[in-house]
């Protein structure tokens, strides 16, 4: 029995483990793949306070070492179910069932991909899913953004102030994102909007060199030479295994406010898998701190109920 099981060893989950251990609570972190999550794909983090440059790999390793050094236990198994038994929660993996009094869901989200050949290989070599993280590498260069939601529009605006030229490529002729942002983009002299078009091929050697765009109306092909392609076609939160327990919004994010409480008592959430305005490393670690602090408060408040439930299961012996 642990005080807290954290599901997911990304920046949010590992920060939660640090805060929970510093509050002297026992913590098990379950991770399906490898510590760090999405941030492992970022070659150079430039926007995390204090460290001007750090690779995603080094950031994750340091965070893991800090959490483990404080006594957090890490097990590499994928949590596939949470059973809420009231004072006790069971977290089920294909191999084991772990018990805890509180659970923090820090499962993150993954980038929706275009599904093009070489897309994975070129991440960090011309392809990025995060303009705020990687835009600075494309100062005075030519870039394109794919997508028509708020993220794509805001990414294109952000990049327009850095890059020499920004193409915004959207598969329809009206944007899903806000019209005011689209209007600001249309005023930018270095932004070219290409509607009713799909990126259909990545042209690369070691790095991305150009993209092929197919016009959806007449099928014509166009090749655009560029240095960077920012793919902003939405994200897929990794919450489906827990949908029956916590409430999700239409897009699949756990409904939770800044206090990181979910609809289920004793189950908290932190990081990119919850509803929030800004999904960044710094907001993920902030969530980890908040979720752990709230979980510790919950443990304190439910101590008596938990002891009573133990006594009941032991036949009332006192």
**Can you give the binding site for ligand NAP, defined by CB under 6 A?**
112, 114, 146-152, 154, 171-172, 176, 232-235, 277
Question: CB of residue 152 vs ligand NAP: minimum separation in angstroms?
Answer: 6
Is 124 or 234 the residue whose CB approaches ligand NAP more closely?
234
Check if the beta carbon of residue 180 is closer than 8 Å to that of residue 151. no
Could you tell me if 280 and 263 are in contact, meaning their C-beta atoms sit under 8 angstroms apart?
A: no
| Catalytic-role residue among 35, 133, 272, 287 | 133
Q: Active-site residue 134, yes or no? A: yes
Q: Which is nearer to ligand NAP, 93 or 181 (CB)?
A: 181
Say whether 133 is catalytic.
yes
* Distance, CA of 189 to CA of 210 (rounded, Å): 21
- Nearest by Cα to 148 from 118, 182, 180: 182
Q: For residues 235 and 274, give the distance between their C-alpha atoms in angstroms, rounded to a whole number.
A: 12
Q: How far is the CB of 216 from ligand NAP (least distance, A)?
A: 10
* Catalytic position from the list 65, 84, 118, 134: 134
Quote the CA–CA distance of 205 and 258 in Å, as a whole number: 44
- Indicate if 130 belongs to the active site: yes
Distance (Å, whole) CA 290 – CA 260: 7
CA distances from 251 to 12, 138, 235, 258, 273 (A): 20, 30, 9, 19, 10
Run of H or E including 165: strand 165-169
Considering 44, 65, 120, 130, which one is annotated as catalytic?
130
Nearer to ligand NAP by C-beta: 113 or 141?
Answer: 113
Q: Residue of minimal CB distance from ligand NAP?
A: 149
| Cβ atoms of residues 210 and 192 within 8 Å | no
Cα–Cα distance for residue pair 90/28, rounded to 1 Å: 12
Of the two residues 80 and 251, which places its CB atom closer to ligand NAP in the complex? 251
Question: Collapsing DSSP states into helix, strand and coil, what is residue 263?
Answer: coil
In the complex, minimum distance from the CB of residue 227 to ligand NAP, in angstroms, rounded to a whole number? 20
Which residue's CB is nearer to ligand NAP, number 82 or number 182? 182
The nearest distance, CB 155 to ligand NAP, in angstroms, is: 9
- Catalytic residue numbers read 130, 133-134
């Amino acid at each position: 029995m642990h005080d807290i099981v954290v599901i997911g060893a990304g920046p949010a989950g590992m920060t939660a483990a640090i805060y929970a251990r510093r509050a002297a609570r026992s913590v098990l972190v379950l991770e399906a793949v490898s510590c760090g999550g999405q941030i492992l794909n970022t070659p150079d983090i430039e926007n995390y306070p204090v460290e001007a440059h750090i690779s995603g790999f080094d950031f994750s390793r340091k965070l893991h070492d800090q959490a483990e050094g404080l006594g957090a236990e890490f097990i590499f198994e994928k949590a596939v179910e949470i059973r809420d038994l009231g004072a006790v929660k069971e977290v089920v993996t294909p191999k084991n069932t772990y018990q805890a009094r509180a659970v923090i869901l820090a499962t993150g989200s993954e980038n929706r991909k275009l599904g093009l050949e070489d897309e994975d290989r070129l991440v960090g070599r011309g392809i990025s899913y995060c303009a705020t993280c990687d835009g600075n590498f494309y100062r005075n260069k030519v870039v394109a953004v794919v997508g028509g939601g708020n993220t794509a529009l805001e990414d294109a605006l952000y990049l327009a102030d850095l890059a020499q030229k920004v193409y915004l490529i959207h598969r329809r002729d009206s944007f899903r994102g806000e019209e005011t942002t689209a209007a600001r983009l249309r005023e930018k002299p270095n932004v070219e909007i290409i509607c009713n078009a799909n990126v259909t091929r990545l042209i690369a050697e070691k790095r991305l060199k150009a993209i092929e765009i197919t016009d959806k109306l007449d099928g014509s092909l166009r090749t655009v030479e560029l240095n960077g392609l920012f793919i902003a076609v939405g994200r897929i939160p990794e919450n489906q295994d827990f949908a029956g327990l916590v409430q999700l919004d239409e897009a699949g994010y756990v409904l939770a406010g800044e206090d990181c409480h979910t609809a289920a008592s004793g189950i908290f959430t932190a990081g990119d898998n919850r509803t929030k305005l800004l999904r960044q490393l710094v907001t993920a670690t902030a969530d980890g701190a908040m979720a752990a602090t709230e979980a510790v408060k919950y443990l304190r408040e439910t101590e008596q109920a938990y002891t009573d439930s133990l006594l009941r299961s032991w036949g009332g012996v006192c």
